[in-house]
Amino acid sequence: MAGEKVLIVEDELHALMGLAELVSGWGYRTETARDGAEALDKVMAWQPGIIVTDMKMPRMDGIELLNRLGELPDKQCVILLTAQGSIDRAVEAMKLGAYDFIQKPVDPTRLKMILANASRQRETELELDFTRRRLRERGVLGSLVGSSRKMQDIFALIERVAPSNVSVLITGESGTGKEVVARTLHELSTRKPKPFVAVNCAAIPETLIEAEIFGYEKGAFTGAIERSPGCFELAEEGTLLLDEIGEMPVGTQAKLLRVIEEKRLRRLGAKIEKSTNVRVLAATNKDPREAVDDGHLRADLFYRLNVFNIHMPPLREHKEDIPAILEAILADMNEKHERAVTGVDKEMLARLMSHDWPGNVRELRNTIERAVILCGEGQLESRHLPPGFGERVLRPSADDAASANSVQVEVGATVDEAERLLILKTLESTRNNKTRAAEILGISLKTLHNKLKEYGSASFASAESIEERV
């Protein structure tokens, strides 16, 4: 970019002047500073896009400068000048977010190339920023849609915490978009090019969860035939989402806390620890404070994860977003199923707006997916809604023991419907203890989990329609 501002930081005056002259000669605007502290002042006052800085300087060195720059809202491309033999520190600096480094004595051709790349990178970032702002004004942030006050507040919070490394606890009912929030936090951070790994603590049997999260060495336990990395290692330099954190065994929670605090990890059966650099996010659809009170969630882990809390509102509390979310879902579904649905008619929209959405956006998504498949093209109409849609959800009352502990299925129901009903009833009887329910049902926890995901809350409608026939 012509006229990009470059700040040059170097304690040795002669080298500083030489560099400034060189860089100005290439068409950049330049300013100079003699150490990190002076550089910080200049950054605030002059707002350069690129900083070329020496590593070893009095008062504040290059690493410290990088750290301090990381705390500022505006991001710069930092290029480090390193003395020979200090590659280790340069690599450490890259991990802290430096853009690139170049060895001294500076090779002008190489510096020119790095500056050109950095300048191009700045340009795309600024464009992205601009597009993001435009989209945001239209109610879109990543894959999240919503212009309501509630969603806009969430967007602002996400944008504020995304660039930092703090842990975030994402709460909210099932299907409200907690995982989408986690992905968005990752995508708006510098960790974006690195992996985003989501692990569902409720879908892994207790005996395997530590192996899954921390990894294991060959022979660490019966069945450990090969060494295997855990989620932490898979997410190295990226983001790890621990979903349904309250379902993680308390003993594992203690280990997890240690890994987060010490940023060191030991695979099961391993002798040595390794350092880890992972941003940890967690999600739960239960009230975390209640989970702490009833002993499902360790208080110390809760405080560690809850540095920031993002609470997703249930869809019924921001119904004004339904039309926009609907539009996004329609576009998705048309593509996924190769359909050409153009919208929904008035009557259907009215029914969507008056529904209570116990399964939140996931239920909306499932409802629309079904309708799109049925309809194919043109406008969706009420007849494309599932039978019993929007009617009161029937739940067995406490004094109705028979219906609480049994399912009755009439001939005419499909096997899928019967299965769904049985699964939901079993879960109810285990008070939502999925491990126990899977045992009773004779299916794996993973299968149970997949089924529940598949149902979303569209299951309420079907479960209810069967119950009504009973």
Ligand X SMILES: Nc1ncnc2c1ncn2[C@@H]1O[C@H](COP(=O)(O)OP(=O)(O)OP(=O)(O)O)[C@@H](O)[C@H]1O
Stretch that binds ligand X, among 35-43, 75-83, 155-163, 358-366 (CB under 6 A): 358-366
Choice between 42 and 178, CB closer to Mg ion: 178
Which position's Cβ is nearest ligand X?
177
407 binds ligand X (CB under 6 A): no
Q: How far is the CB of 75 from ligand X (least distance, A)?
A: 26
- CB count within 10 Å of CB 469 equals 12
Binding site partner of 420, from ligand X, Mg ion, none, Cβ cut-off 5-8 A by kind: none
Residue 100 in the binding site for ligand X (CB under 6 A): no
Total residue count of the chain as it appears in this document: 470
Partnered with residue 242 across adjacent β-strands are: 199, 282
Q: Does 409 bind ligand X (CB under 6 A)?
A: no
* Site for ligand X contains 445 (CB under 6 A): no
Residue 97 near residue 70 (C-beta atoms within 8 A): yes
The DSSP symbol for 216 reads B
Spatial distance between the Cα atoms of 60 and 380, rounded to a whole number of angstroms? 63
DSSP code for 456: T
Both structure tokens of 334:
């048309």
- At a CB cut-off of 8 Å and minimum separation 6, what does 246 contact? 201, 284, 286, 288, 291, 296, 297
| Residues 335-354 within binding reach of ligand X (CB under 6 A) | none
Q: Which of 352, 353, 346 is nearest to 385 (CA)?
A: 352
260 binds ligand X (CB under 6 A): no
Q: Which stretch binds ligand X (CB under 6 A): 1-9, 31-39, 178-186, 260-268?
A: 178-186
- Report the nearest approach of Mg ion to the CB of residue 243 (Å): 5
Q: Tell me, what amino acid is at 336?
A: K
Distances (CA, A) of 363 to 65, 68, 326, 388: 48, 44, 12, 14
Q: Which one among 102, 144, 188, 280 touches ligand X, defined by CB under 6 A?
A: 144
- Under DSSP, the state recorded for 129 is H
The interface partner of residue 174, options being Mg ion, ligand X, none and the CB cut-off 5 to 8 Å by kind, is: ligand X
Which one of 82, 167, 174, 189 is in contact with ligand X (CB under 6 A)? 174
Q: Output the smallest distance, CB 442 to ligand X, in A.
A: 23
Indicate the burial class of 218 (C-beta count within 10 angstroms; 0-12, 13-18, 19 or more): exposed
Binding test (CB under 6 A) with ligand X, winner from 180, 374, 409, 422: 180
- Rounded CA-CA distance 70/109 in Å is 28
Nearer Cβ to ligand X, position 76 or 285? 285
Nearer to ligand X, 36 or 314 (CB): 314
Residues in contact with Mg ion by CB under 5 A are: 178-179
Residues that bind ligand X (CB under 6 A): 143-146, 172, 174-180, 285, 325, 328, 361-362, 365
